[in-house]
Amino acid sequence: MSNPSHRYLFNFSSSCSGGGLVILNSYLEMFEERGGAYFIVNSSLQKKLHKSFKNNKIFFVELSKLKRLLNDGYYLGQIVSQLPELDLYFSFGIPIYKKLAKHNWLHISNLIPVEFSWKYLDFFSMIKMYLLGRRLKCCTKNVDILSADSEDGVSKSLNFLQANFKKTKVLKNGVSKDFVEYKSNPKKNVAVTVGTRKYKDLKRLYELYIRLKKEESLEELWIIGGEEQVPDEIRNASDVKIFGNIQHKEVIRYLSEAKIYLSSSLIENSSIASLEGLYLCSASYLSNIGSHLELIQDAKVSYREIEFQDLGKFYKVEEQVSKEYIKSISWEEVNKEFFDYLQSHISEGV
């Protein structure tokens, strides 16, 4: 049985796919190399983690959709009772119902509960988001540190929660080593987008693609994500190809072959896909939301704002993100900064 050297407990029990799973694997590897920490992970991932761990101690919990809706912290008491006194409890998007450590850190991984709108997801999902938002707001007294993936995310979270915290922080997403070294492929006359959930606003995106076809010499639109969520009129269009939910290395390959990256998202905390599109595609059109602008400005690429009639404003980026910038935000660099922060602030106090 492992005996981690860091008395930190990370709760990723609601992260089973997508960006949350990428961050979980990154944190597991980071702490495995640094003596280990404690992790709560959804049981559905028991056979899917990148590798086994000798230094990290992992607690797998069963958390069905119904359990998440009714009682998403039922397992915490039993787990914490087995641990030494904790220096840090880090909750990835889950309300902190009681203080469990000297420092209790809430990371807002999804902005939909804090900027609620029925247009973002289907009815049942929005009910869950509404309840999650209420719970987050009721539990602010137990939170010492609040973070999100972007300055925009932190600002929106503070505006919603209306509470004072000892510290706020931006925890930016990183990119993999393989991505940093990826060599772009010859471009095809296609536009590409990643994600098909309702807040990705695919109807607006397809209309944008239609308007750009002649100007950008586009022949096809590639959509990466679940086909069942793509509107029928787009799914059946002759110039649309849908790839479904594919491995990340395949996502990167298709991005690298596409000429134009498109995103019409109504809301994003921080989009790894948009960052990858900015790096691999020749040009990008991103909806004018705060996190997209922050992403562009952080990458120090030139852009201009274009308004399309009936579609709203988009940021057009006509240069690719530099390799030097991508290297600076590799998971190795991002995690080093996070670990150093934990060592200095958690050991010395917030």
| Lowest mean per-residue pLDDT among 21-30, 56-65, 100-109, 163-172 | 56-65
pLDDT score for 123:
82
Q: Which two tokens stand for residue 333?
A: 């660099």
Cα–Cα distance, 111 to 154 (Å, whole number): 9
Q: What is the Cα–Cα distance from 327 to 179, expressed in whole angstroms? A: 9
Provide the token pair at 44.
């559905």
- C-alpha 49, offset from chain centre: 18
Whether 177-327 and 8-174+330-348 are alike in CATH topology: the answer is yes
For 8-174+330-348, which CATH superfamily applies?
Glycogen Phosphorylase B; (3.40.50.2000)
123-127, 201-205, 245-249 — most confident range = 201-205
3-class DSSP state for residue 348?
A: helix
Token pair for residue 75?
């397992």
Instruction: Map residue 13 onto helix, strand or coil.
Output: coil
> From CA 181, how far away is CA 256, in angstroms rounded?
12
Residue spans of beta strands (DSSP E) within 102-232: 103-108, 145-148, 167-170, 188-194, 220-224
- Gap between the terminal Cα atoms of the chain: 31
* Separation of alpha carbons 73 and 88, rounded Å: 17
pLDDT at 198: 92
Instruction: In whole angstroms, give the CA distance from residue 280 to residue 158.
Output: 34
61 Cβ neighbours under 8 A, 6+ residues apart? 13, 40, 41, 42, 43, 75, 79
* Predicted pLDDT of residue 350: 47
The tens digit of pLDDT for each residue in 208-255 reads 999 999 999 999 999 999 999 999 999 999 999 999 988 888 999 999
In which band, very low, low, confident or very high, does the pLDDT at 67 lie, cut at 50, 70 and 90? Answer: low
Lowest-pLDDT choice from 39-43, 50-54, 189-193, 314-318:
50-54
Choose among 189, 259, 199: nearest CA to 225.
199
Q: Which overall architecture, per CATH, does domain 177-327 show?
A: 3-Layer(aba) Sandwich (3.40)
Strand intervals (E) in the chain: 8-12, 38-42, 57-61, 88-92, 103-108, 145-148, 167-170, 188-194, 220-224, 240-244, 258-263, 283-287, 303-308, 312-317
Q: What is the mean pLDDT of residues 323-331?
A: 88
pLDDT category of residue 65 using cuts at 50, 70 and 90 = low
Question: Given the DSSP bridges, would you call strands 88-92 and 57-61 parallel, antiparallel or unpaired?
Answer: unpaired
Q: What is the pLDDT of residues 247-284, one digit of tens each?
A: 888 999 999 999 999 999 999 987 888 988 999 999 99
Task: Tell me the average pLDDT of the chain.
Answer: 90
pLDDT score recorded for residue 69: 60
pLDDT at 112: 87
Instruction: Please report, for the chain, the start and end positions of each structural domain, with discontinuous segments joined by +.
Output: 8-174+330-348, 177-327
- Span 103-127, average pLDDT: 87
